[in-house]
Amino acid sequence: MKHYRHTGITLTLLGSLALAPLAQAQPHQAPPARHYQVAPGPLGTALSAFAADAGVSISGAAGLYAGLNSRGLNGSYQVADGFARLLDGSGLVAIDQGGGNYAVRKLPSAAEATTLPGIAVRATAERSTSTEGTNSYTTPATASATGLVLSLRETPQSVSVITRQRMDDQDLLSVRDVLRNTPGIAVNQFDTERSTFSARGFEVDNFQYDGVPTTYKVQYSGGESEMDSLIYDRVEVTRGATGLLTGAGYPSASINLVRKRAGARQFEGQLSLAAGSWSDYRGTVDLAAPLNEEGSVRGRVAAAWQDRKSFTNGYSNQRQIAYATIEADLAPGTVASVGASYQKNDPKGSNWGGFPLWYSDGTRTDFDRSVTTAPRWAAWATEQTNVHATVEHALGQGWKAQAQAMYSKHTEDTPLIFLAEWPDKVTGLGMLGYPNRYIGQRDQSSADVKVSGPFSLGGREHEVIVGANYTAQHAEFKVKEALDPEDIGNFLAWDGNYPQPAWGEPVLSEKYTTRQYGAYGAARLNLADNTKLILGGRLTRWDKDRIGFDGSARFAFAKSKFVPYAGVVVDLDETVSAYASYTDIFRPQENQDRAGAWLDPLTGQSIEVGLKGELAGGRANASVGIFEIRQDKLAQPDGAHRVPGTTTQAYYAARGATSRGIEAELSGRLAPGWNVTASASHFRAKDRDGQDINSLSPRSTARLFTTWKARHDISVGGGVNWQSKFYYDGEGPRGTERVTQDAYSTVSLMASWQVSRQLLAQLNVENALDRKYININTYAQGTYGMPRSVRGTLTYRF
C-alpha cells in the first residue's frame, strides 16, 4: 500500500498544510532544532511541558485531549516537528498561528488533506505503532519485547519490524517469505509445504498474534509457514530469550504477527491482480468503511485467491484467504474489536521430505530443479480458522487496560508418500516408498489481560505494566497406513503417476493437551535524564498430557518456572543510546531420570549489549549488538539406566549449548523517496563438547533491500540476500556423511509505475541471477530453491 498517507507524522504534516490558510501564518525562517525531553503521559500534560520548554504557547478546545496519551519526546527537534511527534497517531494537529502561538485542532479528513487514495488507519497515541500508510521501512514504536510501548532505541533487545510497505515492495506474500527477509532469521524449507525457522542457532517456536502467545509445531505445520501476509500490518521479530511475554520456548526469537485494523472514516479500499512465473495468478480485495454516520463503528474486510503451479513437477496450489474485523468506540476511551480470518491451502503434488542427496554408490546426485518425490495425488491440504476479540479502555492519567482473547483451529488431511534410501545411478532402483495418510486437528485458545501506565516516584515519571495470560493447545492426529503400496521402481523415470493405495483404518499417531498459565510485569524506571532501567519477570506454570502412538504410551506432568528480565538504556546524545539486557526463557522436557522424576525445564539465558541510533529525524533506525546465549539442563541419556518400572531410557540434566554472535541493522527512510533495510549477523553455536549445534542454520547472513523514487511516478529497487555455508551429517549409503551447501546469494529487483492517482503497476523479480541451491532437511534429503521468477501486479486504490 505504497501511497497511503493517512497515519502518523505524515498525516499531521499534510493536515498542517491543509489548514495553513486558516491559520494565516506569516512566512518566517524556522528556528534551529534543539534537544527536548518530555516524559510519557497524558497528551495535554506532554504538550504543555513541551510548549513551556520551547517558549511557545499552545491552545486547544476543552476536552480535545480527553483519554489520549503520548509516548513523550527525547531528541533534537524544531518546534513544529516536536509537536508533530507528540501528536503522532492522536488524530490531532498543531497549527502555527505565528508569534509563537500554536493551536491544536482535529486532523482534517483524507479528502481535505489532498492525499492519494488508500485505506486510513485510525489510532490513538497508544496505537501509533501501526505501519500501514506510513511508506516506511521502520516503526516509531513497538511493544513486542516488554509489553511497554517503546521506540526501537528505547528497547534493550534486538527487534526487527517488517512493515507493510516492505511486504508490498518486496512482494512478500507469506510468513515464510517475510521471515526469509528478516535480519538474523534462517529459514530451512523441509518440503513443498513445511519450513523451520531458527535464530542465533536455536529453533523458533514462539508465535504471537497481536502480542498474544501461541505455539508453532513444524511436525504438523503444513499450512502455518504458508500463512498469507495480506491481513498483517507488520511482523515484529524480537531476538534472544523472550520468556517475559511468551512463556516457554527456546532462546531464539519470537514472531509477532500484527493484524490490520478497521479505522477508516470514509469508504476506502484497494483491488489487485497479479500474474507470475509458472502460471501463478492472484487477486486480492481490501475494503474499509465506517458502519454508522458518526464513524464510531468501523469495519474492514480483506480476501485473496491464488492459483499457482510451480517449477516442481506436478505441484500446484490453490490458496483462499478471508479476513473481517469490526472496531467500535463503545464509550469515551473504550474501544472494542472483533475479527476472524480463514485460510485454505489446497495443494496437489506435495512432497513429504525431499529428493535423495546420494546415489546408492555414494556419489552425489545433481537433479534438475523440477525434480519431485511426490505422486500427483499427494496433498498437504490444510485449513486454519482464527477468531479474536480485544477491548481497550483508557483509565485516565495515562493508564489503560486491555483484554484479548483468541481461538484458532488447524485441520489437515494429508495423503502423502515418503521416499527413503538411494537410487542406483543407472537403473534408478532402490528407493522405498512409505505412503501414509494423516488426518488431524489442533486447537489453540489464548487470553491476555494487562494494565499499564505512568507513575511518579522520586520526582520522576516512570512506567509499569502488569498482566496475565493463558494458552491451551489440544491436538489429535491419526494415521492411515497403506494396505497395498506398489514398488517405486525406477526413480530416475519418476513422473508422479504412482497409484494411490487403499488406506487402512485410522490409528492414533499423537494426542496431547498443553496448558500454560503466566503472570508477568515490568517497570521502566527513569533513573536519570539519560538513563532508563527496565526490570521485570514472569511466573509460568506449564503442564502437558500426552498419549503416544496407538495409545500405548501416556504421560502427564507439570512444571513451574520464574524467569527474570533486566535491561538498561543510556542515551549518549540526542540520537544514540547504549543498551544492555539479561533475558531468560525455559522449555519443559519430556524426560525422566533414573529415579522416575521429571527433569527440570531446559533453560536459556541471553545477555546482549549494543548501540542503537535514530537517523534522519527518527525516520530510520540503526543498531549493532553482541550477544551470548547459554542453554542449561539439557537432557542427556544416562547410560544403561532405565526409568523405574519401564524399559524407557533414563536421562540426566547436563550443561547445554552456548551461542555467541553479533548483529547489525539499518532500516527506514534515509532521505525523501529513499527507503533502505540492511542487516548482517554472525554467530557461533556449540554444544558442551564443542560441536556445532543446528548445523543447518548458516552462521552468517547479510540482507539488503532498497527502493528509490526516481521521479514522482517511478520507483525502482533491488536487494541481495547472502548466507554462509551450512551442512548436515546424515545417514548415507556409506554410513554417516556430511552434505554441504556452500555460501550463496540471491538478487531481487523491483520497479513500480504510478499510472494514475489510483492505479499502480509493479514488477518484481526474485533470484534474478538464477542461482541454483538446495535446502537440506533432517532426513538428509534436499529441496531446490526457487529459480528466477517474475511477478507483475496491478493495484487500484480508491
More confident site: 13 or 378: 378
In the prediction, which pLDDT does 113 show?
Answer: 37
Looking at the DSSP bridge assignments, the partners of residue 525 are 533
583 and 449 in a single domain? The answer is yes
523 and 392 in a single domain? The answer is yes
Residue 556: inside a domain, yes or no?
yes
**Percent of the chain clearing pLDDT 90 (strictly above):** 67
CA 77/CA 83 separation, integer angstroms: 9
CATH value at residue 198: 2.170.130.10
Range name among 211-215, 410-414, 618-622, 769-773 with the lowest pLDDT average: 211-215
The three-class DSSP label of residue 551 is helix
Yes or no: say if 657 and 201 are a contact pair by the CB < 8 Å rule.
yes
In the prediction, which pLDDT does 98 show?
Answer: 67
470 and 492 in a single domain? The answer is yes
Residue 143: inside a domain, yes or no?
no
User: How much is the CA Rg of the chain, to the nearest whole Å?
Assistant: 27
| Grid cell locating 217 | 509445531
Q: What is the mean pLDDT of the chain?
A: 88
pLDDT 10s digits, 545-577: 887 665 656 677 788 999 999 999 999 999 999
633 and 752 in a single domain? The answer is yes
In the prediction, which pLDDT does 656 show?
Answer: 84
CA 741/CA 727 separation, integer angstroms: 6
| Grid cell locating 455 | 507513575
- Over residues 24-34, the mean pLDDT reads 45
| 514, 204, 685, 628: CA torsion to nearest 10 | -90
Whether the per-residue pLDDT at 632 is higher than 50: the answer is yes
Band the pLDDT of 50: cuts 50, 70, 90.
confident
More confident site: 443 or 778: 443
Residue 118: inside a domain, yes or no?
no
**Percent of the chain clearing pLDDT 70 (strictly above):** 89
168 and 83 in a single domain? The answer is no
Whether the per-residue pLDDT at 220 is higher than 90: the answer is no
Residue 666: inside a domain, yes or no?
yes
CA 646/CA 652 separation, integer angstroms: 16
- Over residues 131-144, the mean pLDDT reads 89
Considering only CA atoms, which of 575, 585, 502, 495 is closest in space to residue 240?
585
CATH value at residue 510: 2.40.170.20
The residue from 230, 259, 288 where one domain ends is: 259
pLDDT 10s digits, 580-622: 999 999 988 888 888 988 888 889 999 999 999 999 888 899 9
627 and 549 in a single domain? The answer is yes
- Over residues 532-554, the mean pLDDT reads 84
Residue 17: inside a domain, yes or no?
no
Band the pLDDT of 214: cuts 50, 70, 90.
confident
The residue from 106, 126, 160 where one domain ends is: 106
In the block, residue with C-alpha cell 529459514: 187
| Grid cell locating 248 | 516457554
Residue 350: inside a domain, yes or no?
yes
In the prediction, which pLDDT does 217 show?
Answer: 65
Whether the per-residue pLDDT at 161 is higher than 50: the answer is yes
In the prediction, which pLDDT does 27 show?
Answer: 36
The three-class DSSP label of residue 334 is strand
585 and 503 in a single domain? The answer is yes
Range name among 207-216, 353-362, 541-550, 781-790 with the lowest pLDDT average: 541-550
Whether the per-residue pLDDT at 127 is higher than 70: the answer is no
In the block, residue with C-alpha cell 514504536: 141
With 0-12 / 13-18 / 19 or more C-beta atoms within 10 angstroms meaning exposed / middle / buried, residue 617 is middle
Residue 602: inside a domain, yes or no?
yes
Considering only CA atoms, which of 623, 704, 586, 571 is closest in space to residue 142?
623
Whether the per-residue pLDDT at 706 is higher than 70: the answer is yes
CATH value at residue 97: 3.55.50.30
The residue from 214, 232, 259 where one domain ends is: 259
Whether the per-residue pLDDT at 8 is higher than 60: the answer is no
CA 30/CA 100 separation, integer angstroms: 11
More confident site: 133 or 620: 620
Whether the per-residue pLDDT at 784 is higher than 50: the answer is yes
The three-class DSSP label of residue 629 is strand
In the prediction, which pLDDT does 609 show?
Answer: 99
pLDDT 10s digits, 359-402: 999 999 999 999 999 999 999 999 999 999 999 999 988 899 99
Question: What is the DSSP annotation of 526-543?
Answer: EEETTEEEEEEEEEEEEE
Highest mean pLDDT among 2-11, 189-198, 224-233, 271-280: 271-280
In the prediction, which pLDDT does 42 show?
Answer: 75
The pair phi, psi for residue 143, each rounded to 5°, is -120, 10
In the prediction, which pLDDT does 1 show?
Answer: 41
Whether the per-residue pLDDT at 121 is higher than 70: the answer is no
In the prediction, which pLDDT does 553 show?
Answer: 63
Question: Which H or E run contains 45?
Answer: helix 43-54
Report the domain count for the chain.
3
218 and 325 in a single domain? The answer is no
In the prediction, which pLDDT does 76 show?
Answer: 66
In the prediction, which pLDDT does 156 show?
Answer: 97
- Over residues 413-439, the mean pLDDT reads 96
Residue 283: inside a domain, yes or no?
yes
Residue type, 166: R
278 and 229 in a single domain? The answer is no
In the prediction, which pLDDT does 20 show?
Answer: 34
In the prediction, which pLDDT does 108 show?
Answer: 53
In the prediction, which pLDDT does 99 show?
Answer: 62
Measured over the CA atoms of residue 497, residue 498, residue 504 and residue 506, the dihedral's sign is negative
Residue type, 550: D
Whether the per-residue pLDDT at 349 is higher than 60: the answer is yes
In the prediction, which pLDDT does 556 show?
Answer: 76
Domain that holds residue 175: 152-259
- Over residues 476-480, the mean pLDDT reads 93
Band the pLDDT of 71: cuts 50, 70, 90.
confident
255 and 272 in a single domain? The answer is no
187 and 332 in a single domain? The answer is no
More confident site: 519 or 640: 519
Whether the per-residue pLDDT at 12 is higher than 60: the answer is no
With 0-12 / 13-18 / 19 or more C-beta atoms within 10 angstroms meaning exposed / middle / buried, residue 647 is exposed
216 and 291 in a single domain? The answer is no
pLDDT 10s digits, 238-259: 999 999 999 999 999 999 999 9
CA 605/CA 583 separation, integer angstroms: 6
With 0-12 / 13-18 / 19 or more C-beta atoms within 10 angstroms meaning exposed / middle / buried, residue 189 is buried
